[in-house]
Amino acid sequence: MGQEILILGAGYGGMMTACGLQRREIPFTLVNEQPYHQFTTLMHEVAGGRAHTEDYRMELQAIIDPDLGRLHVGKVTAIDLKERRVRVDDMFLEYDWLVVALGSETEFFGIPGLQNHSLQLWGFESALAIRQRVERLVKEATRDHPARLVIGGGGLTGVELTGELADWIPRLCEKNGVPLDAVKLMLIEAMNTILPMLDSDLQRQAMHILQEKGVQIRTGTKVVEVRSEQILIDGRAPLDYSLLIWTGGVRGNHLLAESDFPVDRKGRVPVDQMFRPAGMTRVFVIGDCAAFPGPDGRPLPPTAQLATQMGEHAAQIIDRLLHGRPPVAFRPRLRGTLASLGPENGIGELGTWKLTGAAARFLKEANKARYLWSIGGWKALSRKRGQIRWA
Ligand code: NAD
């Protein structure tokens, strides 16, 4: 065939495209900044000290068959759509077919001081940084100088991280001989509820479970500025903090707009049912980079569930096109939402089912196993089984 297929990004979307092409014995090149695939949706577990950190990333070499996939470890710095080439560090890679799966990045909404004064839960390294900072702050905390840990943003990322820290902090306090009341954990959210995407019953239950674990939850609390030790809140008194972890939202990778892709207000590229941006036939944008229309015409939210399905489908589209067959439109299977609330608890919706407690947690663990199987079968499952906790 002699066609160069270039996949940018080895997150959930890019990884599944690579695995799909590999299964179909179609050669490709995969570019990623790190030599590993990170389990991004589980980074709250890394930050919250749940298991061995190495269980949460997997070397790309262990997944990609060198006879089919060429790995290129480096940072994509520009996409030249006219010349059909991509700059990776100091060199250019040419393509005939391009799959853009570069993921999203933290949204700071232009809030003064926020980026400089906060940590973000963004990938393996940042999760490790949070873990280390929390450990240090708890160790140094006293009743006179308590550690004030604030999570900013009560969406799924903020809630899962809060649940994890709420379970870990008492163990850390005990280990370091620190009184539990020397560490304050607070979740703040601009809207009147946390987890606005879930039904109101589940929102209340999630709040209750977190509060039972000692978390202070403040809704209607919109961050407007961050200074070195204070968070300024719209219409309310400022909050003192020792560590602010910002989980207030995401937007498409900045490279998209910089590379002249048309983007929406969240920096994502509007695509058709075959992941093609307007006017492009050999470029596919998938995962968090894509604004893919849902049933009501509005873009679907950027989730790993969707990125994974898009990646599988992108491989099928490319296969069909290479063999002169028309591509088939993507039909997302939206199964629902599951969130962990610490290692022992969870909450979520699957279709019309509402789940809480052990059932939600069990399904979340089962999802991990299913995903590991899909990228590397038994080998991936046995190597990374440490991230799964059945009981
Ligand atoms: P999000 O946008 O879903 O939530 C961010 C929250 O921060 C919102 O509730 C918002 O009101 C709040 N916020 C924004 N600005 C604020 C301000 N100035 N002050 C206080 N609060 C503010 O972002 P997310 O939680 O990072 O999730 C991103 C995407 O990833 C979503 O599509 C989500 O569904 C997905 N995700 C899914 C899972 C899962 O399925 N378990 C886990 C994590 C993330």
Asked which of 246, 275, 294 is the last residue of a domain, the reply is 246
Q: Which amino acid is at 379?
A: K
Mutate to test the pocket of ligand 1, among 40, 45, 157 (most ligand atoms within 8 A of CB): 157
pLDDT 10s digits, 158-215: 999 999 999 999 999 999 999 999 999 999 999 999 999 999 999 999 999 999 999 9
54 Rama class: left (phi>0) / alpha (psi -120 to 50) / beta: alpha
Q: How far is the CA of 187 from the centre of ligand 1 (A)?
A: 12
Q: How far is the CA of 150 from the centre of ligand 1 (A)?
A: 15
Let me know if residue 373 belongs to a domain. Answer: no
Lowest mean pLDDT segment, chosen from 228-232, 290-294, 304-308, 358-362: 358-362
- Judge if 254 and 308 occupy the same domain: yes
pLDDT of residue 328: 96
Q: For the chain, what is the domain count?
A: 2
Let me know if residue 231 belongs to a domain. Answer: yes
Q: Say if residue 391's pLDDT is above 90.
A: no
pLDDT of residue 351: 87
Asked which of 246, 278, 293 is the last residue of a domain, the reply is 246
pLDDT 10s digits, 88-110: 999 999 999 999 999 999 999 99
CATH number at residue 85: 3.50.50.60
- Judge if 323 and 263 occupy the same domain: yes
pLDDT of residue 1: 52
pLDDT of residue 358: 87
- Judge if 219 and 326 occupy the same domain: no
% of the chain exceeding 90 in pLDDT: 90
The pTM of the full predicted model, rounded to 2 decimals, is 0.95
Lowest mean pLDDT segment, chosen from 48-52, 59-63, 175-179: 48-52
Q: Quick one: DSSP state of residue 62?
A: G
pLDDT of residue 276: 98
pLDDT of residue 390: 75
Asked which of 334, 359, 381 is the last residue of a domain, the reply is 334
Average pLDDT over residues 5-24: 98
Lowest mean pLDDT segment, chosen from 148-162, 202-216, 376-390: 376-390
d(CA 275, CA 2): 23
Q: Exposed (0-12), middle (13-18) or buried (19+): which is 53, by Cβ within 10 Å?
A: middle
Q: How far is the CA of 249 from the centre of ligand 1 (A)?
A: 5
pLDDT of residue 51: 84
Average pLDDT over residues 39-48: 96
Ligand 1 atom nearest to 339, measured from its CA: 41
pLDDT 10s digits, 235-254: 999 999 999 999 999 999 99
Lowest mean pLDDT segment, chosen from 34-38, 159-163, 360-364: 360-364
Mutate to test the pocket of ligand 1, among 44, 104, 156 (most ligand atoms within 8 A of CB): 156
Query: What positions carry a catalytic annotation?
Result: 160
Ligand 1 atom nearest to 153, measured from its CA: 7
Q: Say if residue 122's pLDDT is above 90.
A: no
Mutate to test the pocket of ligand 1, among 42, 46, 189 (most ligand atoms within 8 A of CB): 189
Let me know if residue 46 belongs to a domain. Answer: no
**SS3 of 229, please?**
coil
Let me know if residue 151 belongs to a domain. Answer: yes
pLDDT 10s digits, 123-147: 999 999 999 999 999 999 999 999 9
Which residues, other chains included, contact 268 with Cβ-Cβ below 8 Å and sequence gap of 6+? 104, 251, 252, 256, 288, 289, 290, 291, 299, 302
Q: Say if residue 335's pLDDT is above 90.
A: no
Ligand 1 atom nearest to 247, measured from its CA: 26
Which residues, other chains included, contact 380 with Cβ-Cβ below 8 Å and sequence gap of 6+? 58, 62, 63, 372, 373
Report the DSSP beta bridge partners of residue 32.
73
- Judge if 236 and 136 occupy the same domain: yes
CA dist 174 → 150, 154, 165, 273, 278 (Å): 21, 27, 14, 53, 57
pLDDT of residue 195: 96
d(CA 215, CA 168): 12
Is-contact 71 14, C-beta < 8 A? no
Is-contact 340 364, C-beta < 8 A? yes
- Judge if 239 and 155 occupy the same domain: yes
% of the chain exceeding 70 in pLDDT: 99
pLDDT of residue 2: 62
Closest to 210 in 3D by CA, of 198, 202, 222: 202
Q: Say if residue 330's pLDDT is above 90.
A: yes
Average pLDDT over residues 24-51: 96
Ligand 1 atom nearest to 195, measured from its CA: 9
Q: Quick one: DSSP state of residue 330?
A: P
- Judge if 91 and 145 occupy the same domain: no
- Judge if 227 and 128 occupy the same domain: yes
Give me the domain span that covers residue 235: 119-246
d(CA 346, CA 45): 13
Closest to 124 in 3D by CA, of 37, 247, 13: 37
Average pLDDT over residues 309-314: 98
Instruction: Kindly list the protein residues whose Cβ atom lies closer than 6 A to any atom of ligand 1.
Output: 41, 109, 111, 152-158, 160, 188-191, 196, 222-223, 247-250, 301-303, 337-339
Average pLDDT over residues 284-297: 96
Q: How far is the CA of 4 from the centre of ligand 1 (A)?
A: 37
Residue keyed to tokens 């977190």: 210
Q: How far is the CA of 98 from the centre of ligand 1 (A)?
A: 29
Average pLDDT, the chain: 96
Lowest mean pLDDT segment, chosen from 8-12, 332-336, 386-390: 386-390
Lowest mean pLDDT segment, chosen from 163-177, 219-233, 361-375: 361-375
Residue spans of beta strands (DSSP E) within 48-165: 57-59, 69-73, 76-80, 85-88, 91-94, 97-100, 104-106, 119-120, 147-152
Let me know if residue 113 belongs to a domain. Answer: no
